[in-house]
Chain A
Amino acid sequence: MSTTASSAPAAVEGPESGRAFLGLGSVFVYRLLSVIGLFTIWEIAGLIPISVAFPTFSDTMQALWEMTADGRMTDAYGETLKPLAVGVSISAVFGVAIGVGMGLNRLFQWTWEPIFVVLQASPVAALIPLITYAYGIGLTAKTVAVMILAAPIIVLNTYKAVRNASPTLIQMCRSFQGTRLQEIWKVIIPNAAPVIFAGLRLGVAAGFIGVILAELLITPTGIGDLISYHRSVAEYAHMYAAVFSIIVFSAVMVGLLEKVETNYFRPEKKKGH
């Protein structure tokens, strides 16, 4: 084939060649506008007020600052993070491993699928008394609550992603003498990575729900304690500050996972949008 410059086809213009606004990417500007809009509506809703139990955005931020400054927030997160980190880590490691196994092997799938489908379908708040009966009211019970919420999502997403790996890519790997192990590591898992990570992001978010649920329903500790205590003494700004902080924290964790995915598994997405 000719190697002259004229025969080299031009690169395709990707959709990512976005415009800039004031030197910022347009995506960033839109996100910022969305966040500002939300906070403005919150402030207005608090000023009306739509309920005496609904503080303004500025009051909430003030309460957040106060609790951060006097160390209450740090102590609360120290408590909340223990079952959360342990539960999410176990769910992620074993969840992905079990999901990959289910995707690759039918017998493995039939063994595990019913358990996780039942767990995913069940209303977890109703299972919490059962958890306390079995594991007491300590760290173990809260970790189990996190896992019950996080693991099924991670397992089932991983399993679907692996099972639906591109048949042509698998054939390609075989046609170039790839072994089964190479097929799994070099084709199936990277191919499934976007959906596996989508499952991990949903799983981590569900883990946050699990830990707050456990702290509200089992014994009040950490962020759950801040929420229920301030509600009981009608310090609604402080209560919402705790809720707000856990949402932000959860969003940051989910965002970090996305970074891990693009950096280590799907580098082509970095060039995308």
Chain B
Amino acid sequence: MASVTAMQSPHAAPDPAKDNIVEVRDITKFYGTDIHALDSINLAFPTSQMTTLLGPSGCGKTTLLKIIAGLLEPTAGEVFVKGKPVTGPGPERAFVFQDFALLPWATVLRNVAFGLELTHQPKAEREEKARQYIDKVGLGGFEDKYPHELSGGMRQRVGLARALAVNADVLLMDEPFSAVDEQTRRKFQEDLLHLLSVEKKSVIFVTHSIEEAVYVSDQIVLLSPRPGRIHSTIRPEISRDASPDDIRRDKAYLDTVEEIWNNLRKYLD
């Protein structure tokens, strides 16, 4: 089962006053004058938790993520990171792109170190750090390969390693697995959960897959489309201690998936 209010989760229940790493207040976004993408969104993202923005296409979930990242300007409203308002990209946030956004002319090593290269870290230091994260995402031995020599899943691991290497507090992931095949995706989700439990990052994750959202999230924000509004917030009560296969068969998992589907299906007509 899942509840619409905050209840137990694998992590400690957050104290909304100070344990929110990111907050958005009254975010509204128009594209041009007539496309109303987001309508007064108020949201809090708890520290060290995985929050998913879930909704049908056109609900503005990627727009909201890019506003949080500072890549898009909101028409109105403010984004707070660690209590401070932000207007552009910052070192406390790192983005993982849907289509990977790797430099085709750079090796895996340089791609992973690219965030550090841009902030002028010495070459030896940044490559040392990049190698560490290449190992952590399971790409050890591929340092000198170019992106076109890797599979889709491996390319996204490079994107993830690049985001982890800059040591930001918040990872912003924009449908990171949508360009990856289903088998690779499942393995990647498991690896991601494992890695995040070690790295203690706060994650804001955009997806259109209900199963994926329930499987990986501490908190799920359902968005309704045109204009994007918050439909409800759900905290799946699923123990993360069970094995991945047990979780996928767990009754609470299946019920939560069902509940979200019932909420979203009315927008599909």
Contacts and interface: CB of A to CB of B under 8 A. Distances in A.
Given A2-B138, A3-B140, A268-B105, A186 B118 contact: yes
Interface in A208-236: none
Contact of B150 (A11, A169, A171, A172): A11
Interface stretch (B34-42, B48-56, B93-101, B228-236): B93-101
A37 interface: no
Interface residues of A, number: 33
Given A8-B140, A9-B151, A186-B118, A171 B71 contact: yes
A268 B148 contact: yes
Contacts of A11: 142, 145, 149-150
A42 interface: no
Interface string A164-204: 00101101111111110010001100110100000000000
Given A11-B145, A12-B151, A187 B166 contact: no
B154 interface: yes
A267 B118 CA distance: 20
A204 to B, nearest CB: 22
Nearest to A269: B105
B200 interface: no
B71 A174 contact: yes
A71 interface: no
B104 interface: yes
Interface string A252-268: 00000000000001111
Contact of A176 (B94, B136, B157): B94
A111 interface: no
A152 to B, nearest CB: 27
B198 to A, nearest CB: 9
A178 B162 CA distance: 14
B244 to A, nearest CB: 12
Given A1-B191, A174-B89, A168 B138 contact: no
B160 to A, nearest CB: 9
B194 interface: yes
Given A190-B103, A265-B105, A175 B191 contact: no
B195 A1 contact: yes
Nearest to A193: B105
Contact of B115 (A1, A169, A176): A176
A9 B183 CA distance: 12
Nearest to B141: A8
A133 B154 CA distance: 63
A190 B106 CA distance: 10
A180 to B, nearest CB: 12
Given A187-B103, A190-B103, A271-B146, A172 B191 contact: no
B10 interface: no
Contact of A177 (B91, B148, B191): B91
A7 interface: yes
A18 interface: no
Contacts of B91: 177
16 contacts: A3-B136, A3-B138, A7-B138, A8-B141, A8-B142, A12-B150, A166-B101, A173-B118, A176-B115, A176-B118, A176-B166, A190-B103, A266-B104, A268-B104, A268-B147, A268-B148
Given A1-B192, A3-B138, A268-B147, 7 more contacts: A2-B191, A8-B141, A11-B149, A168-B99, A171-B97, A175-B70, A175-B89
Interface of B: 66, 69-71, 88-91, 93-95, 97, 99, 101, 103-106, 114-115, 117-119, 135-142, 145-151, 153-154, 157, 162, 166, 184, 187, 191-192, 194-195
Top 10 nearest A-B pairs by Cβ distance? A1-B191, A268-B146, A172-B101, A176-B115, A175-B95, A178-B118, A1-B138, A168-B101, A175-B89, A266-B105
